[in-house]
Amino acid sequence: MLDFLANWVANSLGMATPYALAALGLIIGERAGVLSLTAEGLMLVGALAATAASLVVGDYPIPALLIAMLCASAVSLLFALLVIVLRVNQVIAGLAIVFFCQGLTDLIGTMANWTNRPVGGLAKLPIWPLSDIPIVGHVFFTQDIVIYLTLPIFVLVQFVLTRSHFGLRLRSVGENPEAVDAAGISVPLYRFIAVVSGSALIGLAGAYLSIGVVRMWVQDMTGGRGWIAIALVIFARWRPWWALGGALLFGGVEALVPRIAATGVRLPQYFMLMTPYVATLGVMIWVALDKRTGSDEPGALGLPHVREERR
Amino acid sequence: MLDNTALPPRSAKSPTARGPHLGRLTLEVRQHMPIWQHAAILISLIGLGLAISAAILIFAGVEPSELFQEIILDNFLVRENFLAVLRQTAPLLFVGLAAALAFRVRFWNLGIEGQMIWGGIGATAVSVNHIGPESVRLPLMLVSAVIAGMAWASIALILKLRLRISEIISTLLLNYIAGDYMLHLLYGAWLDPVDSFPHSAQFASYERLPDLSWGISTALLLALVVVGITWWLLRVSRVGLYMKFVHANARMAHAVGIPVVGVTIGAVLLSGALAAAGGFVIATGLEGRLTQGFFRGYGFSGILIAFLAQNDPLVVAGVAFLVALLFDTGRSLQVFYQIPFAMVQLIQAVIVTTVAASEFFIRYRVHWVRRSA
């Protein structure tokens, strides 16, 4: 039983990491007022880029992760151009980018023959001597680099968002772009920075999925995790720590299913595959029924800023 | 909700210290635009989208000279190919109309694929269980498909109306759930007893949509009738006018006594029904059975068709035909050039992007304001 629990928690961390990083990336963009539905597509870009880097250059995980982040940011520039400069409806632009990325990654993956080819991926890095602690060492200190880095990334983003001038301005851009503009701060610039840096994290999430969890590229391998991350942001009410908690919850659910199946309990397979989506819907219903106030939802989320159009 | 309500003091730099001072770009909201200029902008950006698509195809290894041959000559001059395009048009018409109806009441129905899946399941359930006599089997399958699609669409609808849950996410999540449920059936109870493949048993001849005399499918005829009805509904009937109000401003519509909730419910259920009919048409007209991936790509194509047609049913018909042309070309490129079918999705995304961008140039005029020294 203890073994079962230890294995489950250890695997939950790995499953939770893509959700956590993608949700955090989305929060950065959305706190600046850009409603980004792009996560599903950008995760695919990150996943393919990391696998491609590993296959072409060799198994150097850190460069592969950085390349994935760069590629996702590069694609998000297109999204930023559409919604920040050209003021395209953010839902339409987000969907178009997702489908663009799905088509592009499928096409490149097939034509370059990168599909279904195993890569070495991220290695487990035991932190000695902590890794020698019974159970705890195995669960928390025998993981890979991305899992170790997730917590510092959250601390850093939370600090920048809430404790720095830059973060204050970024959040102000999301709350009331007119006031920020009047104060002489460039709304487009802050939104650009928020979208592109957030997208790097989303790309990292996708990369982790391909070279950290599955260890190969399969077309459409994100399987809706990007949409779940968007739901997580709503659940977290745009607060990073809540998003981390939600991600752990979802990671736990996802890691539990194969664990139970491994113990020999017969479960209808395809109903088990539904659990993340059903759980997400359940969480959204719970959030909607929860009457407590106090959300950090940005006031200008999804609204384009046009200085010349006075409201 | 900010921690500090006051903005931090800006650094002491004077405005003139920022950047070179040649001037700046400003936007001007256009009050009026001649129709030819509107058309010119739209056409040039669609042209840009097509040019990018052609560049991608050439990059993927298609000879530029054969592009024209593949798309235009082969599809219009060879009778079988043209009929294949028409056959492909029918399901695209259904999903395009489904998207258009939902968008008319500002409901982002991204669950078209899930509703199509339920349409397929509904139709196949009647076939597998041999419900009803042979003579009315096909209509029964359609009715069952439509009811299943409406039921599935109503989940997201209730969540939105009752709990204000964004339909953008809920409809997408429901797609995955519907897909997994279909796999559960296809790998379980509905596994083909003949070849043990995970698709349903082949439909009997009376369970398939027949072709008319010149090889035009009944599906297309059905789709065109639905186009006519939808046109009447949106353009002639009172409900269409109501929907116009709801689209413009739901609160205002409510204030002037329009049954906003009722109109929304009706439009979304109809949207689900049409999407399900699209699934029915593919299963009974094209595939002849329920297959695993029959719905793939149709959801986005439906949104694209409605978006390009600006939710107008008659324009939807034209755009659906063009997208069918693209689908068919994509299939032949797959066969002759080994180019993955994902290319079709990529091209659609490129064109949506450029057309969406055209609205910026239609809405605003970009000015270069020189600063006087």
Domain identity same for B366 and B286:
no
Name which of B3, B60, B300 is nearest A99 (Cβ-Cβ): B300
Domain identity same for B48 and B160:
no
Quick check: is A65 in a domain? yes
Domain identity same for B46 and B144:
no
Q: How many domains does chain B have?
A: 2
CB B151, CB B111: distance < 8 Å:
no
* Contact criterion met (CB < 8 Å) for A308 and B339: no
B positions 77-116 inside 8 Å of A (CB): 108, 110
Which of chain A's residues have a Cβ under 8 Å away from the Cβ of B183?
A: 270, 273
Q: Tokens 């029904």 correspond to what residue?
A: B273
Quick check: is B23 in a domain? no
- CATH number, domain with residue A228: 1.10.3470
Q: Which residues contact B211 (CB under 8 A, 6 or more apart)?
A: B217, B218
Domain identity same for B49 and B100:
no
Q: Which residues contact A59 (CB under 8 A, 6 or more apart)?
A: A119, A120, A121
Name which of B1, B163, B184 is nearest A288 (Cβ-Cβ): B163
Quick check: is B131 in a domain? yes
Quick check: is A163 in a domain? yes
Domain identity same for B183 and B292:
yes
Quick check: is A299 in a domain? no
Taking chain B (373 residues) in runs of 10, the rounded mean pLDDT of each run is: 42 44 76 85 91 89 78 79 91 97 94 97 95 92 97 96 91 96 93 88 90 83 95 93 92 92 96 97 92 92 93 94 92 86 91 90 82 58
Quick check: is A55 in a domain? yes
Quick check: is B241 in a domain? yes
- Please tell me the distance from the alpha carbon of residue A72 to that of residue A46, in angstroms, as a whole number: 6
Domain identity same for B138 and B209:
yes
Q: Does B173 touch chain A (CB under 8 A)?
A: yes
B positions 312-341 inside 8 Å of A (CB): 339-340
Picking from A227, A279, A251, A234, the residue whose alpha carbon sits closest to that of residue A39 is A227
CB B27, CB A308: distance < 8 Å:
yes
Give per-residue pLDDT as tens, A263-289. 777 778 888 889 899 999 999 999 888
Quick check: is B327 in a domain? no
CB B112, CB B91: distance < 8 Å:
no
Nearest CA distance, A292 vs chain B (angstrom): 14
* Contact criterion met (CB < 8 Å) for B169 and A103: no
Quick check: is A305 in a domain? no
Extract the tokens encoding A8: 């489950």
Does the structure's ipTM exceed the value 0.85?
yes
Extract the tokens encoding B347: 């091209």
Domain identity same for B113 and B42:
no
Quick check: is B195 in a domain? yes
- Please tell me the distance from the alpha carbon of residue B59 to that of residue A48, in angstroms, as a whole number: 19
- Please tell me the distance from the alpha carbon of residue B347 to that of residue B57, in angstroms, as a whole number: 9
How confident is residue A243, by pLDDT bands cut at 50, 70 and 90?
very high
Q: Which residues contact B197 (CB under 8 A, 6 or more apart)?
A: B191
Q: Which residues contact A126 (CB under 8 A, 6 or more apart)?
A: A137, A141, A142
* Contact criterion met (CB < 8 Å) for A285 and B163: yes
Q: Is the pLDDT of residue A7 over 90?
A: no
Q: Domain of residue A106: give its range.
A: 2-289
Q: Does B3 touch chain A (CB under 8 A)?
A: yes
Give per-residue pLDDT as tens, A10-46. 889 999 999 999 999 999 999 999 998 999 999 999 9
Which of chain A's residues have a Cβ under 8 Å away from the Cβ of B344?
A: 103
* Contact criterion met (CB < 8 Å) for B303 and A95: yes
Question: In B194-259, which residue ranges form alpha helices assigned H by DSSP?
Answer: 218-231, 238-248, 250-255
Which of chain A's residues have a Cβ under 8 Å away from the Cβ of B326?
A: none
- Buried/exposed B213-251: b ≥16 CB within 10 Å, e otherwise: eeeebbbbebbeebbeebbebbeeeebbebbebbbeebe
Quick check: is B29 in a domain? no
Quick check: is A276 in a domain? yes
- Please tell me the distance from the alpha carbon of residue B144 to that of residue B277, in angstroms, as a whole number: 10
Which of chain B's residues have a Cβ under 8 Å away from the Cβ of A100?
A: 346, 349-350, 353
Q: How many domains does chain A have?
A: 1
Instruction: Find the largest Cα–Cα distance for chain A.
Output: 65
Name which of B29, B303, B343 is nearest A309 (Cβ-Cβ): B29
Quick check: is A221 in a domain? yes
In total, the C-beta contacts within 8 angstroms joining chain A to chain B are 156
Quick check: is A303 in a domain? no
The neighbour count for residue A39, using CB atoms within 10 Å, is: 33
Domain identity same for B187 and B297:
yes
The neighbour count for residue A300, using CB atoms within 10 Å, is: 20
Q: Domain of residue B130: give its range.
A: 91-318
Q: Does B187 touch chain A (CB under 8 A)?
A: yes
Domain identity same for B210 and B96:
yes
